[in-house]
Amino acid sequence: MRATALRRNGWVIVAALVSLALTVQPFRDSDVWWHLAIGHYIVAHGIPAAEPFSFLHAANPWVGQQWLYDVALARVVDLGGAGLASLLMGVVASGALLVAALSTPAERRPRGLLTAGSLLLGAIASTELVGVRAPVMSLLGAAVTLNLLVRWRHGSMRALLALPPLMALWANVDAGFVVGIGMAAIALLTSAGAGRRARLLLGAATFGGVLATLVNPAGVGLWGSVAATFSDPTLTALLPELQSPNFHDPWLRLFEVQAILLVIAWVLATRRDAFDLVLAGAVFAASLEAARFVSLFALVAVPQLAVYSASAWSAHRHRLPATRGFPGDTPRSRRAVAVAAAALAAAGAAVAVVPRLTASHAAQFEAAHEPKAAADYAATHLAGRRLYTIDSWGGYLADRFPVGRVVYLYDQLGVFGDAAVQQYIDIHDLKADWSTVLPGEDVTAAIVPAGAQEVSALLTEGWSVDCSDATSGSLVMTLERGASGAAAVGSGPAGSGAGATAAPPPCG
């Protein structure tokens, strides 16, 4: 019996190890930089009451909702650099998938290979939304909650004891704790056949979980902050993750494939569980509204796809034409092939992961994706001047310039308030009064993507290009005081900014 369990779980564990090749990622999400900055700030000064980096007047108080994640991230990066953070967050993501994969009722547990395949499909489908980012912690929270609920549904009342502390921890790490509460509520609503005592206990544990979420620096205000973030149309317009998925992206096709396979498995399986159907349906609907939930769907679908595919297969395999085994197909040869395949896969994953953990890889990635050289230039030549940049680079500048309040805004947009965000949209999207935004804030320097429309616009206002960071594709632009209109255009294009006459010098 133990050997069977080992064989079954062995495949799943190997799959989880292989999935590290997808989940261990460099600092791809630009939010990581302001998380790092605020983590360091909290370590030094405690949780701030107001936004600490920007020269804008933040309309809302700082809700340090992810403070624990921020501090942990800062500590890990201080300890082992970006590589260690990448590795740990990859382990968290793969661990979440593993916990989810093992969250199946014992009597319906499918063959290990099937679960392993489902786990890998889930890992591929969620690749774009994992890495070093706070929502990955919510994936782990969701997986643990799922596991607890499955255990509760199969008679373990003790599992519920873990729900309130889990929620207390989760609420201090990421706003996704709301998902955990929602999962418990779905379990409660779809468990009409469960005993009254069991439902009462789940209700009490859920309520306890809700109360436990209040143990955080913002108290009740945490819930208001989460609600405001998800219901603010201005933020939705700016943050692609809060928008509907773009199914022209190939990775979202995998999400689609996963959903289609799950529906087919549901239809063909011999028995379905209302909790599974409602949970997956709700998360799928949420994913259509906001792409950030795609990874949650991938996670929720992992155990279901395995269980229902197994059920469908055993119910309908008789319809398929009979096949003969390969010559030499014996249990021993199968075992040998399995061990070899597992070893090969694990070795492949290691080969893929290890080079990503080096300091040089992290530095190269940073230089290619963030305006590193441009920020170096600004630190040397533009010290103390307010810097305009796009929201996704704002976090990086917050990390590079944590003192002096020279940074514009970054993707913790809720704290800045709608007026500041609208002002940013005015210049970023070149609305009618774009030209008044930067003078109004006394901004005379900018770090912007070389192809951005802001470049053309600023050139018409007399700004000039100081230098070019070709590695990240960014430009440093400045406006010399007193300059206006075409008179101040130096290295810029003739008249209106196009067709620059001379290439700007490199920033490095």
Quick one: which H or E segment has residue 48?
none
Phi/psi of residue 324, each to 5°? -95, 150
d(CA 93, CA 99): 10
Say if CB 353 and CB 24 are below 8 A apart.
yes
Q: How many CB atoms lie within 10 A of CB 82?
A: 23
Give the x-and-dash track for 189-228 against other proteins (CB under 8 A): -xxxxxx--x------------------------------
Measured at the CA of 234, the angle between CA 415 and CA 46, to 5 degrees, comes to: 10
Judged by CB under 8 A, the residue of 4, 6, 50, 154 near other proteins is 154
Asked if 332 interacts with other proteins (CB under 8 A), we say no
Choices 118-126, 130-138, 184-192, 377-385; region in contact with other proteins by CB under 8 A: 184-192
Residue 505 within binding range of other proteins, rule CB under 8 A: no
Can you spell out the DSSP letters for 79-137? HHHHHHHHHHHHHHHHHHHHHHHT-S-GGG---HHHHHHHHHHHHHHTGGG-SSSTHHH
The verdict on 285 binding other proteins (CB under 8 A) reads yes
What does the alpha-carbon distance between residue 300 and residue 145 come to, in Å, rounded to a whole number? 11
Under rule CB under 8 A, residue 105 binds other proteins: yes
Considering the rule CB under 8 A, would residue 266 count as an interface residue with other proteins?
A: yes
DSSP assignment letter at 402: -
User: Is 501 a residue that touches other proteins (CB under 8 A)?
Assistant: no
Applying CB under 8 A, among 59, 161, 263, 470 the residue interacting with other proteins is 263
By beta-carbon proximity to other proteins, the closer residue of 333 and 436 is 436
Minimum Å distance from CB 247 to other proteins? Answer: 5
What's the token pair of residue 396? 């990086």
CB of 259 to other proteins, least distance (A): 9
Q: Which amino acid is at 390?
A: I
Which of 233/384 has CB closer to other proteins? Answer: 233
Toward other proteins, which CB reaches closer, 65 or 392? 392
Question: Which span sits near other proteins by CB under 8 A: 147-155, 220-228, 384-392, 436-444?
Answer: 147-155
Per CB under 8 A, contacts with other proteins among 31-90 are none
Q: Is residue 328 close enough to count as binding other proteins by CB under 8 A?
A: no
Strands 445-449 and 464-469: unpaired
Cβ(189)–Cβ(278) under 8 Å? yes
Q: Classify the C-alpha dihedral 143-302-264-254 as positive or negative.
A: positive
CB closer to other proteins out of 363 and 494: 494
From 92-100, 188-196, 334-342, 346-354, span contacting other proteins (CB under 8 A): 188-196
How far apart CA 154 and CA 227 sit, in angstroms, is 33
Cα separation, 152 vs 325, whole angstroms = 41
Which residue, 45 or 319, has its beta carbon nearer to other proteins?
A: 319
231 binds other proteins (CB under 8 A): no
- Residue number with CB closer to other proteins (204 or 288): 288
Crossing angle of helices 31-45 and 67-101, in 10° steps, is 130
Subset of 447-466 contacting other proteins (CB under 8 A):
450-451, 453, 455-457, 459-461
Grouping H, G, I as helix, E, B as strand and the rest as coil, residue 192 is coil
211: which DSSP letter? Answer: H
Q: Position 253: which residue type?
A: R
Question: Is residue 495 within the footprint of other proteins (CB under 8 A)?
Answer: yes
How open is the CA angle 389-432-479, to the nearest 5 degrees?
Answer: 40
Which of residues 57, 247, 341, 344 is near other proteins by CB under 8 A?
Answer: 247
Query: Judged by CB under 8 A, does residue 244 bind other proteins?
Result: yes
φ/ψ bin of 446: left (φ > 0), alpha (ψ from -120 to 50), beta (otherwise): beta
Q: Which two tokens stand for residue 130?
A: 């994992």
Could you say whether residue 333 binds other proteins (CB under 8 A)?
A: no
When asked if residue 371 is in the footprint of other proteins (CB under 8 A), the reply is no
Are 104 and 2 in contact by the 8 Å Cβ rule? The answer is: no
Applying CB under 8 A, the site for other proteins has a residue count of 66
Member of 161, 274, 345, 470 binding other proteins (CB under 8 A): 274
| Nearest-angstrom CA–CA distance, 506 and 374 | 9
317 contacts other proteins (rule: CB under 8 A): no
* Sites of contact with other proteins (CB under 8 A): 105, 108, 153-155, 190-195, 198, 233, 236, 243-248, 256, 260, 263, 266-268, 270-275, 277, 281, 284-285, 288-289, 315, 319-320, 429-432, 434-435, 450-451, 453, 455-457, 459-461, 485-486, 493-500
